[in-house]
Amino acid sequence: MENSSNRIGVTLAACGVALMLGAPARAADASPWVEDSYSAIRLIAGANKSGAESLRAGIEIKMQPGWHTYWRYPGDSGVPPRFSFSGSDNLAAVQVLFPAPHAFTDEAGTTIGYKGSVIFPLRVFPRQKDKPVTLRGKIDYAACEKLCVPVEASVELTLAGAGGADNAALAAAEARVPQPVSALDAGLTARRANDDKRKPLVFVDLAAPTGQPVGLFVEGPTTEWALPIPKPAQGAPPGRQHFSFELDGLPSGVDPKGPFELTFTIVKGGSATEVKTHLD
């Protein structure tokens, strides 16, 4: 498997580029939609309490039917979204959250992301709590059908009031953000199954009702890792499910038999959790 930087380069080289003009800032519940032929994007404000340490907001992307965009790790191919808020007013920091994704399989392999529409919740930390924050966001993402079109969009919104017209949609997206839990609480163990091979197999045992659809995604310690998507494996007892994947797509120089931390995202029904565990 290619590493992430190679995959991104190949994807961009094969695609055209769509450039969106920015929307002017305004004090409102949402910025205007910035649209192209494949997708539209805007900023939305959540309901916020006066004097809160952080403000709730979101980046909403809508795609044409049949089109999708990517999670923070795109899978076998694709480009993850990138967010920049440099140039914003009264802004100390922004935390971008990712709702639980879905896996899509086609002739190019399996990718991870969102169809139709997605809201990325934001935690906005102002420098001065008693003053409004004007977010100026530059977002790079891919709108994909059979081919991917890289998009650059600039959106602006002043968070000055309570907000809340889109609060229900934002809250639903926040509820889909995987919650961190321990490996013990998730009932997850991961171990190498065959250290004698150049690309060892990792075996994952997970607490999950037999027959329940489960999405399992794995990430390495840095964005340079491009691990395969775990596949279901046979032989699990009742109340458990098994998965496996090869230790492929590691950065150059990393020993696949060495110790490192893996992050697993588990999607079961309407809930999602995130587990960090060491593979020793």
Would you say 78 and 7 are in contact if contact means Cβ atoms under 8 Å apart?
yes
Strand spans (E) along 64-147: 68-75, 82-84, 91-96, 102-106, 109-115, 117-126, 133-144
User: CB neighbours of 153 closer than 8 A, spacing ≥ 6?
Assistant: 20, 22, 34, 41, 138, 139, 141
Q: What is the pLDDT of residues 134-167, one digit of tens each?
A: 999 999 999 998 888 999 999 999 997 666 789 9
In CATH terms, 179-279 corresponds, of 1.20.1250.20, 2.60.40.2440, 3.30.565.10, 2.60.120.10, to 2.60.40.2440
pLDDT at 28: 76
At 108, the pLDDT band (50, 70, 90 cuts) reads confident
Spell out a b/e string for 211-244, using b for 16 or more CB atoms within 10 Å of the CB, else e.
Answer: eeebbbbbbbeeeebbbbbbeebeeeeeeebbbb
Domain with CATH 2.60.40.2440 in the chain: 179-279
What is the model's pTM?
A: 0.88
Asked if residue 263 has pLDDT above 80, the reply is yes
Q: What is the rounded CA–CA span in Å between residue 62 and residue 39? A: 5
Question: Which tops the pLDDT comparison, 171 or 210?
Answer: 171
For residue 154, the cross-strand partners are 138
User: Checking phi first, is residue 109 left (phi over 0); if not, alpha (psi -120 to 50) or beta?
Assistant: left
pLDDT at 195: 67
Asked if residue 168 has pLDDT above 80, the reply is yes
Q: What is the rounded CA–CA span in Å between residue 67 and residue 59? A: 18
Q: What is the pLDDT of residues 1-49, one digit of tens each?
A: 444 444 443 344 334 445 454 554 445 789 999 999 999 999 999 988 7
pLDDT at 189: 96
Asked if residue 267 has pLDDT above 90, the reply is yes
pLDDT at 147: 85
Q: What is the rounded CA–CA span in Å between residue 239 and residue 261? A: 26
Asked if residue 198 has pLDDT above 60, the reply is yes
